Amino acid sequence: MFGQADTLKPKKHYFELSFGQSLLFISKGQSATLHSKLAVVVPTNSVLFFTEFRPERKIKIPVFFNLPTESKQFIVNGQLINEKADPSFGTGLQFRILRLKVDSESLLDFDLGPLLTCIVGGNNDVSFAPILAGRIRVKRGENFVMYIGTSYTLGLDVFGLFYGTGTVF
């Protein structure tokens, strides 16, 4: 009798694991020529590894790792300039701002919150920067998740667009 009652309880999901893609619009480079001239920023592709812990219903703790798959690129006076793109990782807090039930099996969430990133450069150069990030997440069924989001890194003037799919546990 107790075993049957336990199976009727809805299963709680506290963990999300996903894999995605990021496009980073990195406007500041290390080259002095870029700082003194107007540059057109070419987006930098990177692989996004994303995990999210949910200790409470509306509070989420995302942990991410961005691994660039190409160099940072700028167009200055008609010339393409390349620089090494550095990997980054970070965490923070996000809050569910809005939840809409689409149908009996689908939910649409909007999350927003502050994060902190750590950028690991060459010669053991490590820097930290605050990020404001938000994403729209579609959950279908018990565990399938798709999302798209944006981020802005304060101080470094980096705009990001990210998307991916994952599963919740």
Tally of domains in the chain: 1
For position 107, what pLDDT does the model report? 95
* Domain presence at residue 3: no
* Domain presence at residue 67: yes
For position 32, what pLDDT does the model report? 46
* Domain presence at residue 99: yes
* Domain presence at residue 54: yes
Task: Give the residue ranges of the chain where pLDDT is below 50.
Answer: 1-2, 4-6, 30, 32
HEC per residue, the chain: CHHHHHHCCCCCCCEEEEEEEEEEEECCCCCHHHHHCCCEEECEEEEEEEEEECCCCCEEEEEEEEEECCCEEEEECCEEEEECCCCEEEEECEEEEEEEEEECCEEEEEEEEEEEEEEECHHHCEEEEEEEEEEEEEEECCCEEEEEEEEEECCCCEEEEEEEEEEEC
Domain that holds residue 25: 15-168
* Domain presence at residue 85: yes
What CATH number does residue 58 fall under?
A: 2.40.160
For position 121, what pLDDT does the model report? 87
* Domain presence at residue 105: yes
- Give this prediction's pTM: 0.83
* Domain presence at residue 163: yes
For position 30, what pLDDT does the model report? 47
